Amino acid sequence: MRVYITRRIPTPGIELLKQKEIELEIWDSDEPIPHSELVKVLHNKFDGLYCMLTDTIDKEVLESAGSRLKAICTMSVGYEHLDMVEINKRSIVAANCSTVSSDCVSEFCVTLILTLARRVIDAYNAVKAGEWTTWKPMWLLGFELIDKTVGILGLGRIGFGIAQRLQAFKVKKICYTDMKEVPYAAEVNATFMTLDQMLPVCDIVCIACNLTDSTRGLFNKSAFDKMKKTAVLVNVSRGGVINHDDLYIALKNKNIAMAALDVTVPEPLPVKHQLMSLDNCIITPHVASSTWEARNAMSLLTAENMLTILGGNDPLGRIRV
């Protein structure tokens, strides 16, 4: 069996595949393999494709991979880069890492909330710029999470994890919106609301949903107009859920107070993008799952998915669409 890996990855996945005598070929770079190179290299030579969120697995790639390809395993939770229509046509089994990285992403979301609330970036920059002279009673004031209302879009594993962690900060209320009410919301005392009901009452809004036709561009001018002027917005899901032009206007005009984005469209966001010019917007480079623990687990699970499929069985992370 031969598997192509499209990037340098943590060693646990590689070691497992080698233990099972899988022959590996790896794109030996931290940067994505160019699409044209991926098309060129596959050429009906591999049984499995071990890919990343940044690899577009489309008809051209699949045609090059040919009938030999039986498994596509992505080292990511998201799978919008996979053309599932074309993959299903070819009876290829695809799998993702839906069961790992939720904890570290939830943790990072709370990190971003606290960074905004306590003006950590402003404080750091002030010290670096030599603006720290003495203690001042009105300098760099932020806000506390206690007694705040938090809204979460998407109460899946990540959204639930965010709610769990925020309870420790004594927030007043947690509400959520999703495709439907979920019974486990009671475990974190989360109240179901529609998005239109949730936005006007929330001090903090966290986006933790999948990118679908119904969520794409969901946070636009209409949504921002419904939010409190003091509200902060945090996105750790997919950049496409937010209309970036509308967000820029909302932040610039102080229609909402602050935002923190770990995901954007495009990625990377150009240095000269208008959002980069704002002091009330924090942008991080899609690092919510960037821990050794999470990446090692993702590497290993992707390899386990691959071995399961090549062994003729259903993997834990099988994508069914």
- Helix-helix angle 157-167:102-117, to 10 degrees: 50
CA dist 179 and 102 (Å) reads 19
Closest C-alpha among 76, 66, 87, 77 to residue 32? 76
Write out the chain's pLDDT in tens, 321 residues: 999 999 999 999 999 999 999 999 999 999 999 999 999 999 999 999 999 999 999 999 999 999 999 999 999 988 989 999 999 999 999 999 987 889 999 999 999 999 999 999 999 999 999 999 999 999 999 999 999 999 999 999 999 999 999 999 999 999 999 999 999 999 999 999 999 999 999 999 999 998 889 999 999 999 999 999 999 999 999 999 999 999 999 999 999 999 999 999 999 999 999 999 999 999 999 999 999 999 999 999 999 999 999 999 999 899 998
Instruction: Identify the active-site residue in 35, 43, 273, 286.
Output: 286
- pTM flag (> 0.95): no
Report the DSSP pairing between strands 23-26 and 2-5.
parallel
Q: Are residues 117 and 231 in the same domain?
A: yes
Query: Any residues with CB less than 8 A from the CB of 271 and at least 6 apart, and which?
Result: none
Domain that holds residue 269: 102-283
208 domain residue, yes or no: yes
Distance CA 11, CA 24 (A): 13
Verify that 40 and 124 share a domain, yes or no: no
Cα 146 from chain centre? 26
To the query of whether residue 286 is one of the catalytic residues in this protein, the response is yes
68 plus 204 within the same structural domain? no
The answer on 172 and 114 residing in a single domain is yes
